[in-house]
A and B are shown apart, each in its own frame.
Chain A
Amino acid sequence: MSMDINMKVNIAGVEWKNPVTVASGTFGSGAEFADYVDLNRLGAVTTKGVANVPWTGNPTPRVAETYGGMMNAVGLQNPGIDVFCERDIPFLRKYDTKIIVNVCGRSEEDYCEVVERLSGEDVDMLEINISCPNVKEGGIAFGQNPKAAEEITKAVKKYAKQPVIMKLSPNVTSIAEMAKAVEAGGADAVSLINTITGMKIDINRKTFVLANRTGGVSGPAIHPVAVRMVYEAANAVKVPVIGMGGIMTAEDAIEMILAGASAVSVGTANFHNPSVTMEIVDGIREYMEQQGFASVADMVGIVK
């Protein structure tokens, strides 16, 4: 078998060596996983959401297990953009991978401040988190209304020097409409899905399991929802779609690509096996060899 396999993908003008990145918030800034993953073998590292100032996050408990998944309400704890630029960017630059910085904020000004600050930094792409269900202001407020999503996209695009990926919430009536709205606002790519808002109750303590009461559900339990939404979004917009939601295996990742994702993010699976991304990269290559796909692009959205 000597087929020439091209794992490279082009996402909004940025060439990744393969279509696999990690979902923001599940992988720290990469350093935390460096003992378990060869970061050089990832298409990109997507960092945990960073804001203009440090955020303390929510009270604990912040996570709970659910059947075939988990819930989190970490609340975007982060050290702020200054520490991120001083510490995390130089660390990641030592590796041969692309850097995607996930940006969070409570207001349009917050987002724009971080994006402007990053315009002078050596990072490859920005992912704008307008879909976190666990913070009261900002985040989801922009992610559930098409007009607001378009406006925030336009605003950050004014300051952005890197391609902008808008991260979409599944907690909407029409994902296609949201994808179109951010595309109209100038988004260079979209990523989806963020977590689905859920609730878990402790029947012995007769109260909520999470201190935040609600949390974002992730993991294989939500994978079919994610595949459906990636399919709908990919068929609604021309910009590339980065698919995520419950990818545990190479098979799950391939499913997402066939549905229309140009690249995939692995999230909750990193908690189940910290080295899982390496297996997923290898598994996609094996599938391409077996099925005779010469490039990832040949697989994207072929299921119509």
Chain B
Amino acid sequence: MTKKRELAEVISQEKAARGIYSMWIRTESAKEAKPGQFISMYANDGSKLLPRPISICEIDREGGALRVVYRVTGKNTGTEEFSRLKAGDTLPIVGPLGNGFPYEKAEGKKAFLIGGGIGVPPILELAKEMECEKKQIIVGYRDEETFLREEFEQNGEVYISTEDGSVGTKGNVMDAIRENALDADVIFACGPTPMLRAVKAYAEENGIECYISLEERMACGIGACLACVCQSKEKDHHSNVHNKRICKDGPVFLSTEVEI
């Protein structure tokens, strides 16, 4: 018994874009956090029982703080409650959870770091910590609200796609890769399932090593409840069926390991 749910203190919070918030919290868990991991965030409202799995956007290990950038999913939701928290407020969290990106695989290689929508935030800490020959950050947004853009620009070559064409390439991240004639030896991606499906197909057609971060509704966040499974190519040693747990075996998987 070495871990527990802890009460994290909000250091600061600001709106990053329409419906998107950025919050720094003080937490013990920052010391051991890695890019691509997530934390379970709990609402203070007792009628909302389940944790919200939120990916880690930035890590300050010395200061013992984590940054999360998250979307408010609707009225009266847990994420709406989080968005109202102010400096000094507290919220229960468990973490860090999940495996994180194996960014050491990028050493000496040309890499794509791909984020789409609310899958953009975990790409920031990855970009900050990854060492590679060529760091190409491709981020896709809905419109001109390109949150985290300036911070990405300090950490690599940035290519942007927007659905409405207001910034960068009109379309999705794959359109931005084609328009700019980019290529890579290794890919790391987080975003909506249709985007990940396209990235996975592109990687497999071109024989590129590709790591994708998946999302599913969770209950426990620690590998016990078997709610957040995805289909896997091989029989997993834990499940003994073709299912992997996104919270525990993932959220990051080698693209060829999973069916999405």
Partner of B217 from A27, A38, A64, A268 at Cβ < 8 Å: A64
Residues of A within 8 A of B198 (CB): none
The distance in angstroms between the C-alpha atoms of A248 and B9, with both chains bound, is 24
Interface bracket on A: 35 or more
Contact A60 B223 (CB under 8 A): no
Residue of B nearest to A269 (CB): B49
Residues of A within 8 A of B47 (CB): 67-68
| Number of chain B residues whose Cβ lies closer than 8 Å to a Cβ of chain A | 36
Q: B218 contacts which chain A residues (CB < 8 A)?
A: 63
User: Which residue of the partner chain, among B4, B216, B221, B222, contacts A61 with CB atoms under 8 Å?
Assistant: B216
A70 touches B226 (CB 8 A): no
A77 contacts partner chain B, Cβ-Cβ < 8 Å:
yes
Interface pick from A50-58, A109-117, A141-149: A50-58
Q: A18-55: which residues lie under 8 A (CB-CB) from chain B?
A: 25-28, 32-38, 48, 54-55
Write the chain B residue with the least CB distance to A39. Answer: B1
Report which residue of A36, A219, A220, A268 has the largest number of chain B beta carbons within 10 angstroms of its beta carbon: A36
Select which of B224, B229, B239, B242 is within 8 A of A62 by beta carbon. B229
Tell whether A32 pairs with B224 under 8 Å between CB atoms, given A70-B49, A80-B240.
yes
| A268, B49: Cβ atoms closer than 8 Å | yes
> In whole angstroms, how far apart are the Cα atoms of A59 and B126 in the complex?
31
A195 within 8 Å of B by Cβ?
no
Interface 1/0 per residue, B212-253 and A, CB below 8 Å: 000011111111111111100000001111110000100000
CB neighbours (8 Å) of A55 from chain B are: 241
Q: How far is the CA of A220 from the CA of B49 in the complex (A)?
A: 9
> Residues 1-39 of chain B: 1 if any A CB is under 8 Å from the residue's CB, otherwise 0?
111110000000000000000000000000000000000
User: Does B49 contact A271, Cβ atoms closer than 8 Å?
Assistant: yes
Residue of A nearest to B78 (CB): A65
A74 and B226 alpha carbons, distance in the complex (Å)? 7
User: Does B82 sit at the interface, judged by CB under 8 A?
Assistant: no
C-alpha gap A278/B5 in the complex (Å): 12
Whether the pair A271, B240 counts as a contact (CB closer than 8 A) is: no
Besides A36-B222, A77-B243, 8 other A-B contacts (C-beta < 8 A): A35-B3, A36-B4, A56-B242, A65-B49, A72-B227, A77-B241, A270-B220, A275-B1
- Closest 6 interchain pairs by CB? A79-B240, A28-B224, A32-B224, A63-B227, A35-B3, A38-B1
27 A-B pairs whose Cβ atoms sit less than 8 Å apart in the complex: A32-B224, A32-B248, A35-B1, A35-B222, A36-B1, A57-B226, A60-B227, A62-B226, A63-B227, A68-B46, A70-B219, A72-B219, A77-B226, A77-B239, A79-B240, A80-B240, A220-B46, A268-B49, A270-B224, A271-B219, A271-B220, A272-B49, A274-B3, A274-B4, A275-B4, A275-B5, A278-B1
